[in-house]
Amino acid sequence: MNYFSSDFKLGILGGGQLGKMLLTETRKFDIQTYILDPSDEAPSQFGATKFFRGSLMDFDTVYQFGKMVNLLTIEIENVNLDALDKLEEEGLPVYPSPKTLRLIQNKGCQKDFYVQNNIPTSPHQRYVDLNDLRKSLEKDELEFPFVWKCAQFGYDGNGVKVCRSALDLVKLPNVECIAEEMVPFKNELAVIVVRSVSGEVKTYPVVEMEFHPEANQVEYVICPARIDEKVAQKATEIALKVSQAFNHVGLLAVEMFQTEDDEILVNEVAPRPHNSGHYSIEASYTSQFENHLRAILDLPLGNTNSKVAGIMVNLVGEEGFSGQVIYENIEKIMAIDGVTPHIYGKRETRPFRKMGHVTIVNENMDEARKIAEEVKNSIRVISV
């Protein structure tokens, strides 16, 4: 199939920042791209060949959108899967497959899948709702502490709570959930695996994530992770095993814990471009977005190695500020060598809202880390 400067149309469900960054690549290759998103402020609306406003969860909207394109991918997991099933049945290539998305959409199903496929993960129990979990506590089948996770629609840590006593349960919603054993980890790692339609596979280097202690959002992503080569190898092997188990096509970001005794446990996966791979735009030979496109179009995959050390700092809305956004001191950080901000295009800031990110590249990792801290301490996402 000829994709380049042709009538071929790629459809993307979701028009957030991930879609926006994918569009940089479809523009580079001159591939027509249609986007569907519910928001009229979607960051992707200007870069697409056509932008459609509509619900990603509505069967008819997703089905009709799919009928206009030649291949469908996603930048968000929460989409109507029945529509994708039907489109796939009718011959439309959909990557990742609705079957994979169904397993991933529900954290309980996802965890069961790891257990069934001998993929190391922390032990878990599934509950139909919070009352069900409480009963399990009463019967001493479950003990504090544990990590509560809502089974569906959580993101960036907002559906996750560490529970140390009954008090921690008070404000939790009465929805389907899982309880996971707490992992005493010394590092959170991620590996992005890219796999094409015909099965060519490559992995990006292991990255290390540092989280904001309160908001549970990633603060720094560091590539390569400053870990032992053996641990990196183990993490890469496990990520490959996960990708194989899903028979995945496209990008799969595998988030993992490195435990105190250097075991690797899979936490969760994202079947799409991921925050932990944003550094690749500046630091890698081929960005994660370009490789996602190559994989789903069954083109040869690009080199996933890094050219330089890369660190990504998330730009999230400062606490106490809501409204028209201002990026305070953006000129100051742009005056530093190797610093590139990405602004997603959301006009309104809110506390902890993901507004953009900054990539720091440097020949030297220690220097990159120092600059990353300077960036973090200088730029502020505030409102007028």
Annotated binding-site residues for ATP read 107, 149, 180-183, 188, 267-268
Binding status of residue 180 toward ligand ADP by CB under 6 A:
yes
Of 255 and 318, the one with the shorter C-beta distance to ligand ADP is 255
In sequence order, the 6+-apart residues with CB closer than 8 A to the CB of 374 are 333, 336
What is the Cα–Cα distance from 381 to 329, expressed in whole angstroms? 9
Residue 291 one-letter amino acid: N
In the complex, least distance from residue 90 CB atom to ligand ADP, rounded to whole angstroms: 32
| Interface with ligand ADP (CB under 6 A), residue from 17, 45, 122, 236 | 122
DSSP annotation of 225: -
Of 151 and 355, the one with the shorter C-beta distance to ligand ADP is 151
Per CB under 6 A, which of residues 134..153 are in contact with ligand ADP?
147, 149
Residue recorded with tokens 């290390």 = 208
In the complex, least distance from residue 217 CB atom to ligand ADP, rounded to whole angstroms: 9
Determine if the peptide bond prior to 184 is cis (ω within 30°): no
Return the ∠ at Cα 16 (arms to 33 and 202), rounded to 5°.
Answer: 70
Binding status of residue 159 toward ligand ADP by CB under 6 A:
yes
- Alpha carbon distances (Å) from 3 to 7, 163, 297, 299, 318: 8, 50, 8, 10, 42
Binding status of residue 155 toward ligand ADP by CB under 6 A:
yes
E strands, the chain, where?
A: 9-13, 32-37, 50-53, 71-74, 124-127, 146-150, 160-163, 177-180, 185-195, 201-203, 207-211, 218-223, 250-259, 264-270, 309-316, 323-328, 339-343, 348-349, 354-362, 380-383
Q: Which stretch binds ligand ADP (CB under 6 A): 76-84, 182-190, 281-289, 355-363?
A: 182-190
Binding status of residue 326 toward ligand ADP by CB under 6 A:
no
In the complex, least distance from residue 356 CB atom to ligand ADP, rounded to whole angstroms: 19
Binding status of residue 268 toward ligand ADP by CB under 6 A:
yes
Q: Which stretch binds ligand ADP (CB under 6 A): 157-165, 193-201, 287-295, 317-325?
A: 157-165
In the complex, least distance from residue 362 CB atom to ligand ADP, rounded to whole angstroms: 26
Tokens of 278: 């944003």
| Interface with ligand ADP (CB under 6 A), residue from 38, 54, 154, 341 | 154
What is the Cα–Cα distance from 147 to 178, expressed in whole angstroms? 8
Q: Which stretch binds ligand ADP (CB under 6 A): 181-189, 221-229, 232-240, 365-373?
A: 181-189
Binding status of residue 46 toward ligand ADP by CB under 6 A:
no
Binding status of residue 64 toward ligand ADP by CB under 6 A:
no
| Interface with ligand ADP (CB under 6 A), residue from 183, 197, 299, 336 | 183
SS3 label, residue 137: helix
Site string for ligand ADP, 186-225 (x = CB under 6 A): --x----------------------x----x---------
Binding status of residue 54 toward ligand ADP by CB under 6 A:
no
Q: What are the φ and ψ backbone dihedral angles of 355, each rounded to 5 degrees?
A: -105, -20
Judged by phi (left if over 0) then psi (alpha if -120 to 50, else beta), residue 157 lies in: left
Residues that bind ligand ADP (CB under 6 A): 122, 147, 149, 154-157, 159-160, 180, 182-183, 188, 211, 216, 255, 267-268
